[in-house]
Structure 1
């Protein structure tokens, strides 16, 4: 395994990025290699904007902030890289800034290892006579070389056959399509449509809907698609069929994502349904959910004062991947609603965006994580149009708990983002 592959695996594990880590890092590597002189070219970009001290000549690059990365490579280029990595721009800036120093270190190590070793020239003169014992050792060595060569040929043939089989399996995996299913309550009638891999999957969904709502209140068509992947959400969805009793509710599954449309539901029902779906499909990327924060922002008067705005912002929960600064999809929903309110606020408003963690892990790692999460929120809000001067990110780590860290419920309350007015 190469140094880069090992770095990608570590990033996937420690930052909670999973399979997305490889794509993000490959985008960064491609960008660095596209610059004149690669790593050195990137260093010159930081020098040009007065950030050369982040890359000392005799040591590892220092930790970067998202704003410093944006200053060096430009907002437009950053947005392009974020789209290629399939990340929101603000989140990409925070994660890329955190990864870049270590990534540059890995690339420079690989470059040093790839340099050819200098081979000393043989001294002039007659070669020394070879002793008989050495000649015997050479002959025995040649015999072993012939045996090893035969084994290598056999191993190579087996490996080639295995690669052909693996390539066929990989190609078949690439041909697979995401399973899809949409369920909409139209005035009490459940309309269901989609493409699932097997007849058993289709019957499971249809039977659950008919069993709960009756044959007359279920319509639509679920097609069988043998190329569709097995849905990870099917069994859970079947158990949550009763949630569809709300007229106007729409659930759309595609691959490992779920989009919920509950615009037609009363506010109280939106929060209740969202809590149910959040618990049921926490392993998916879910958008369209509501919580008390989104309701509070929707209820704000046309011209709220600073205290009203901050109180509404702090009712919302911004969720991240486990021990990671990467925002979950429903966290992005809350930030979109927050950005609308902040863009309409008093231009003189200044807010601190504070990140807090639970006590699991070391104090240093928690302080760093809280700062990264605060920066991720600020970067995403700025990407959504909030003026840069409005927000200031600060991490407090585990220093200011609001609940008992010995209990999971308490740790969940302590993992939070808090807004406060800077006076």
Structure 2
């Protein structure tokens, strides 16, 4: 995994500094200067990201598990600035590369020790590795020029000593010999020192962006991509789907923009984006959706399709049954009204994990706001349920971990801990047939129940 972390850091703007960057980042996670690993946990807790951090300690994180602004909040602005100064790069470059590297480093460091206090030798070694300049990769060019200068100096001295001295040539006996003349001093040859060029800090890279709006079949697109090839590919796909006469807007190309990781998925999704009034936007791995101009049924349908197509992306603006139900709760609603709305909600997790996916964050935020407005004595059980695949104990353990993760996230979002209780049921309470994939999917659920009934 370490080689992967270093490679990704190089691609995220660290370049030849990638190995040292990873070493410095890892050192900061265990250093008493920054409060050690417990200090990192506290900073993430203070930033409302504690559950996210702890999920990396239980399961290897996926790429793009953390955003640069989240990294800056959890890692600490002072530490980001310190690393930037040591490496000669911008703080933005540290945050960009750190967002990709930190989750994997946490997973690596906590694999054997839940509270690491020292760096393993293979990580500590990275602290002492300097970047390799291009000149060094092609040989010791500076040594060649220094030797050449020395040889030239020796050659000048040799020529001067070999030249006949006219002042001491033979003369007639009757002519007094002139006084000896001291040889002319040889000019000192200065050594030429070839200074290696100072490595320039890499330009900060930015995520690819795109905004697309459909108004009566007329498509307007604006954004910024990394290359002309990406731009042409997207433009060709848009023309094929909607027609050249129906396209307008501008897509710029910027070499300091990261590749659009969403490109393939967007092109595959274009047939689903024909609804008039739909607006979507990409900013790196964040997807925003605006379906407010669409009829209710279309809002649900398109939101579900986009969730499926862009699974794992951080999404905002999706319109689900639960979204509508939570938005429709009237002032003074009862606990029963609340759980009816909550049970329309789907909470998604990474496969075989209790890590809540990025696309579930917004609906949980809406749920937290509704729960905080419930009657003061409301107590709600958050039940975790599984399908029948696997062992009974394994299913029970995972369902409990997932229920715990949902409660932790809601508490992180401001719900009073005393309002919620987590309970795992495993596969003991199915609501559909476990013999089919559709049935198993329905059985894998989070269910809310009013306590005391």
TM class, shorter-length:
0.5 to 0.7
Correspondent of 1:91 among 26, 51, 55: 51
Cα displacement string for residues 11-37 of structure 1 (whole angstroms, at most 9, x for unaligned residues)? xxxxxxxxxxxx9xx989845542899
Structure 1 or 2: larger helix share?
A: 1
Q: Are residues 1:304 and 2:333 paired? A: yes
Residue segments in structure 1 that go unaligned for 5+ positions in a row? 9-22, 43-72, 114-159, 163-170
Residue segments in structure 2 that go unaligned for 5+ positions in a row? 6-20, 59-106, 123-135, 139-199
Cα displacement string for residues 145-194 of structure 1 (whole angstroms, at most 9, x for unaligned residues)? xxxxxxxxxxxxxxx959xxxxxxxx999965432221123565322012
Please give the secondary structure, in 2, of the residue aligned with 1:265.
coil
- Contact 2:44 2:50 (C-alpha < 8 Å) held by counterparts: no
Q: Distance in 1 between matches of 2:404 and 2:389?
A: 21
**How many Å apart are 1:207 and its aligned residue?**
3.1
Match in the other structure for 1:378: 407
Q: Are residues 1:104 and 2:113 paired? A: yes
Correspondent of 2:220 among 191, 198, 211: 191
Q: Distance in 2 between matches of 1:78 and 1:105?
A: 11
Q: Distance in 2 between matches of 1:206 and 1:356?
A: 45
Q: Are residues 1:420 and 2:452 paired? A: no
- Contact 2:31 2:117 (C-alpha < 8 Å) held by counterparts: no
Correspondent of 1:319 among 348, 367, 385: 348
Q: Distance in 1 between matches of 2:201 and 2:440?
A: 43
Cα displacement string for residues 381-401 of structure 1 (whole angstroms, at most 9, x for unaligned residues)? 122222221111112223322
Match in the other structure for 2:426: 397
- Contact 1:27 1:81 (C-alpha < 8 Å) held by counterparts: no
Match in the other structure for 2:287: 258
Q: Distance in 1 between matches of 2:202 and 2:343?
A: 44
> Aligned in 2, Cα 1:97/1:224: closer, same or farther, shift over 3 Å?
closer
Q: Are residues 1:80 and 2:49 paired? A: no
**How many Å apart are 1:408 and its aligned residue?**
2.3
Aligned pairs for 1:280-359 (under 5 A) are: 280-282=309-311, 284-359=313-388
Match in the other structure for 2:32: 34
Which sits farther off after the overlay, 200-209 or 301-310? 200-209
Instruction: Give the CA RMSD over aligned residues.
Output: 4.3
Q: Distance in 1 between matches of 2:26 and 2:328?
A: 42
- Contact 1:195 1:224 (C-alpha < 8 Å) held by counterparts: yes
Match in the other structure for 2:305: 276
**How many Å apart are 1:412 and its aligned residue?**
1.5
Please give the secondary structure, in 2, of the residue aligned with 1:331.
helix
Which sits farther off after the overlay, 321-330 or 293-302? 293-302
Q: Distance in 2 between matches of 1:106 and 1:174?
A: 35
Q: Distance in 1 between matches of 2:382 and 2:443?
A: 15
Match in the other structure for 2:436: 407
**How many Å apart are 1:416 and its aligned residue?**
0.9
Q: Distance in 2 between matches of 1:109 and 1:28?
A: 9
Structure whose alpha-carbon radius of gyration is higher: 2
Which sits farther off after the overlay, 346-355 or 306-315? 306-315
Q: Distance in 1 between matches of 2:29 and 2:277?
A: 45
TM-score (norm. length: structure 2) = 0.59
> Aligned in 2, Cα 1:90/1:109: closer, same or farther, shift over 3 Å?
closer
> Aligned in 2, Cα 1:195/1:372: closer, same or farther, shift over 3 Å?
same
Match in the other structure for 1:46: none
Please give the secondary structure, in 2, of the residue aligned with 1:240.
helix
- Relative contact order (alpha carbons < 8 A, sep ≥ 6): 1 or 2 greater? 1
**How many Å apart are 1:364 and its aligned residue?**
3.0
Please give the secondary structure, in 2, of the residue aligned with 1:104.
coil
- Contact 1:287 1:329 (C-alpha < 8 Å) held by counterparts: no
